[in-house]
Amino acid sequence: MAKARTELKNTGYEIFIGVLSVLSIVNLVLVFAFLEDENLETVLSVMNGLFSAIFLGDFVYRLATAPSRGAYFFRQFGWADLLASLPFPQFKVLRVFRLIRVFRLLRDVGPRTIWRTLVRDRAGSALLVLLLMGILVLQFGSLTMLYLEKDAPDANITSASDALWFTLVTISTVGYGDQYPVTSAGRLLGGLIIVVGVGIFGTFTGYLANLFLTPRSPETEEPVEAEAALSATGSDGATAPSELSGSSGLEGVEGPAATMDELRTRLAQSESKLAEIRILLDRPREARD
């Protein structure tokens, strides 16, 4: 049975987009708070371009997979998603509508189910966490590295572009060596960036291997709305007997009226039939004839 498409995506993805929306709004506040800091403005402008590309891809993805594209665009803030993805300061405030979507997710699904979903999809959750960490390191690592290095003797990281370039090539594990820290604090920060970069690319490689080499069933990916049904199960993850009977595949045992006793009875009958078949198979051919 084909899975129904929905505009609201899986839990980890929605949280990832929500955190990026918060960070983009924080950057907007920082730009207006530090108008005279040219280096800060350069770094935040680069990050805004990155966020715009991510949000534009998110809009296209939601539009392509929405059950009703018109309903998503006009009634589910799709127009706000499109405008907020444009790299213009006037439209950045519209990214608050993405926060409304994340709030709706938390309200409808619940923290407990969200945690279970993130734990169940450990590979995807780890990848999103490391991607988010990489974005945070690219922004705040560049700003911190510039602050530590720009006034040091013989420093070669003296501008925002130098700091961004060093952080980017370091986190990607390339490390050209044309830009490098000369202070002890800068080298310590550079080591942390290297560790984060190795973690990101190692996790990304493992995720791709798992994605392309592991067989996937339709049940491995469910809409977020379907995840709310998990809360109907017990705290220990046990399923009701009626649910067991519906998925057991035993003929005649279906519907909410089925009980565990009926299941045990059918299982005993099946075992009895198997025993008779084994007896017939063990008889000599002449006796069977």
| 18 compared with 246, residue with greater pLDDT | 18
Q: How much is the pLDDT for 212?
A: 78
Report the mean per-residue pLDDT for the chain: 75
| Residue 188 reports pLDDT greater than 90 | yes
Residue corresponding to tokens 């700003």: 143
Distances (CA, A) of 249 to 74, 218, 240, 267, 275: 44, 18, 16, 12, 21
- Cβ neighbours of residue 87 under 8 Å, at least 6 residues apart? 48, 49, 52
CATH 1.10.287.70: which residues of the chain? 11-219
For the segment 217-238, the average pLDDT, to the nearest whole number, is 46
- Expressed in angstroms, the distance from the first to the final Cα of the chain is 47
- pLDDT exceeds cutoff 80 at 142: yes
Q: Which residues contact 202 (CB under 8 A, 6 or more apart)?
A: none
Q: CATH for 11-219? A: 1.10.287.70
pLDDT of residue 140: 92
Mean pLDDT value across residues 62-68: 84
Label each residue of the chain as H, E or C. CCCCCCCCCCHHHHHHHHHHHHHHHHHHHHHHHCCCCHHHHHHHHHHHHHHHHHHHHHHHHHHHHCCCHHHHHHHCCHHHHHHHCCCCHHHHHHHHHHHHHHHHHHHHHCHHHHHHHHHHCHHHHHHHHHHHHHHHHHHHHHHHHHHHHCCCCCCCCCCHHHHHHHHHHHHCCCCCCCCCCCCHHHHHHHHHHHHHHHHHHHHHHHHHHHHHHCCCCHHHCCCHHHHHHHHHCCCCCCCCHHHHHHHCCCCCCCCCCCCHHHHHHHHHHHHHHHHHHHHHHHCCHHHHC
The predicted structure's pLDDT at residue 222: 47
Above 50 in pLDDT, residue 224?
A: no
| Report for 183-192, 228-237, 257-266: range of highest mean pLDDT | 183-192
For the purposes of burial, counting CB atoms within 10 Å of the CB of 154, is it exposed (0-12), middle (13-18) or buried (19 or more)?
Answer: exposed
